[in-house]
């Protein structure tokens, strides 16, 4: 443990802690763009610079480890002037289209520009422009909005272990590239979208669906597997009712904000008009003939009928009673081993336990399997 002083406040912390981490333990704000608490330090944006007694120049707090007796100043006239200049330099190579940017209202760069009052840029000059758009199905990559913070590169490497993107070229021509500059072809987990501090990475499905105004956030659990990742649904009212416009995950959840492609982008089924919302009971041939629907000759398995002619809507009580009576009837007539159960990997461990208990103890058979084959 070492003792340091930050803005007149003393704190005792482990020696491997960075100055930025120590400042946040004391609730002292230091602006950052490239830093992410779950990724290794980069020190590229230079917004987190601080003054340390005995060192003649400002240093990046995210990459500087603490040492015994260190005295740190996080906000001086010189530091704030340097930070504003850094902001102006970054914005001089950034498109001024916040009005139609998907990240407006949740953009760290926009927030810092507001905080430092950068209304007009005195450092105008050449700006990088890119005409090619990435043709991948899920992630919109707008390289003109990229500030080369390395967050997406580090998340792809350190969190996902894929390394689908990396820095390419040098100097003013530097940019985040895929292999041979082809369209992004990866797992499409969207970790790059989650950590991007600007609008350089966004979901293609989110475009013009709503940003912050009139968006209601609902915390829930991802339904796609038994892992149980926490997700946040961003819901807004539409002509047809409420609609999920995007999915995110908060960093203070057990999955730490990381999601897979299904959890982040596979939400279209929620508002799909073909989604089943009520139990359906198959209409027997006898009931169908009684209602006047005739079966065509040489048409096996009722293939000529529509789903509405094959099934009828029912209440939950009616459906459950029907299932129970049919299972009992089949068991009495053909024995317990004529019945089998198929569980789902989307269920929780507790739900799967209850299901296998029902099949084994109530039905009386070990004919049970599950759909998890990944």
Give the model's confidence band at 374: pLDDT under 50 very low, under 70 low, under 90 confident, else very high.
very low
- Look over the chain and give the mean of its residue pLDDT values, rounded to a whole number: 90
pLDDT of residue 153: 97
pLDDT of residue 306: 66
**C-alpha span between 295 and 184 (Å, rounded):** 51
**Tokens in use for 49?**
């610079």
What's the rounded mean pLDDT across residues 272-298?
74
What would the DSSP string read from start to end of 29-85?
Answer: ----SS--TTS-----S-TTEEEETT-SS-EETTTPBP-TT-EEE---HHHHHHHHH
Rg (CA), the chain: 29
**C-alpha span between 336 and 202 (Å, rounded):** 52
Burial letters for 199-228: b for 16+ Cβ neighbours within 10 Å, e otherwise?
bbbbbebbeebbbeeebeeeeeebbbbbee
pLDDT of residue 303: 58
pLDDT of residue 249: 96
Of 324, 328, 283, 332, nearest to 305 (Cα)? 283
pLDDT digits (tens, 9 = 90+) for 301-341: 555 666 667 888 899 999 999 999 999 999 999 999 999 99
The answer to whether residue 287 scores a pLDDT higher than 50 is yes
Which is more confidently placed, 124 or 88? 88
pLDDT of residue 338: 96
pLDDT of residue 307: 63
Helices of type H across 196-344: 261-265, 285-290, 307-310, 316-334
For residue 125, give the 3-state DSSP assignment. Answer: coil
Angstrom distances, CA of residue 50 to CA of 3, 12, 117, 349: 17, 19, 20, 49
pLDDT digits (tens, 9 = 90+) for 337-353: 999 999 987 787 888 89
Angstrom distances, CA of residue 281 to CA of 293, 310, 322, 344, 361: 17, 8, 8, 21, 26
Go through the domains of the chain in sequence order and give each one's CATH number.
Answer: 2-89 (3.10.20.740), 92-122+134-206 (3.30.70.20), 216-271 (2.20.25.90), 289-370 (no CATH)
Contact 134, 144 (CB under 8 A): no
The answer to whether residue 270 scores a pLDDT higher than 70 is yes
Proportion of the chain above pLDDT 90, given as a percent: 74
| Cβ neighbours of residue 101 closer than 8 Å, sequence gap 6 or more | 107, 145, 199
H or E, element range at 10: strand 9-13
| Cβ neighbours of residue 372 closer than 8 Å, sequence gap 6 or more | 225, 226, 345
**C-alpha span between 55 and 71 (Å, rounded):** 10
């Amino acid at each position: 443990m070492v003792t340091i002083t930050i803005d007149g406040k003393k704190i005792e912390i482990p020696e491997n802690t960075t100055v930025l981490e120590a400042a946040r333990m004391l609730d002292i704000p230091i602006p950052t763009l490239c830093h992410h608490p779950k990724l290794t330090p980069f020190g590229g944006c230079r917004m987190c610079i601080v003054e340390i007694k005995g060192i003649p120049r400002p240093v990046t707090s995210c990459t500087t480890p603490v040492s015994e007796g260190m005295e740190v100043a996080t906000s001086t006239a010189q530091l704030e002037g340097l930070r504003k200049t850094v902001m102006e330099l970054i914005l001089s190579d950034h498109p001024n289209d916040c009005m139609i940017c998907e990240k407006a209202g949740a953009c760290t760069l926009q927030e810092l520009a507001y905080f430092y009052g950068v209304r007009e840029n005195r450092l105008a000059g050449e700006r990088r422009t890119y005409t090619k758009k990435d043709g991948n199905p899920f992630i919109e990559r707008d390289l003109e909005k990229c500030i080369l913070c390395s967050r997406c590169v580090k998340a792809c490497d350190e969190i996902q272990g894929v390394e689908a993107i990396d820095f390419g070229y040098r100097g003013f021509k530097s940019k985040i590239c895929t292999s041979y500059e082809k369209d992004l072809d990866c797992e499409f987990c969207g970790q790059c979208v989650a950590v991007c501090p600007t609008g350089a990475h966004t979901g293609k499905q989110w475009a013009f669906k709503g940003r912050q105004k009139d968006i209601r956030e609902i915390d829930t659990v991802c339904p796609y597997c038994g892992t149980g990742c926490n997700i946040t649904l961003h819901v807004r009212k539409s002509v047809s009712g409420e609609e999920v416009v995007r999915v995110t995950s908060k960093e203070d959840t057990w999955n730490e904000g990381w999601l897979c492609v299904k959890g982040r982008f596979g939400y279209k089924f929620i508002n799909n008009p073909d989604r089943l919302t009520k139990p359906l009971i198959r209409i027997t041939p006898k009931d169908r003939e009684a209602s006047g629907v005739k079966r065509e000759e040489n048409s096996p398995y009722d293939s000529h009928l529509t789903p509405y002619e094959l099934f009828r809507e029912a209440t939950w009580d009616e459906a459950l009673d029907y299932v129970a009576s049919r299972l009992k009837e089949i068991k009495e007539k053909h024995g317990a081993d004529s019945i089998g159960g198929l569980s789902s990997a989307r269920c929780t461990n507790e739900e799967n336990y209850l299901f296998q208990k029902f099949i084994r103890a109530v039905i009386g058979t070990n004919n049970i399997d599950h759909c998890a084959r990944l």
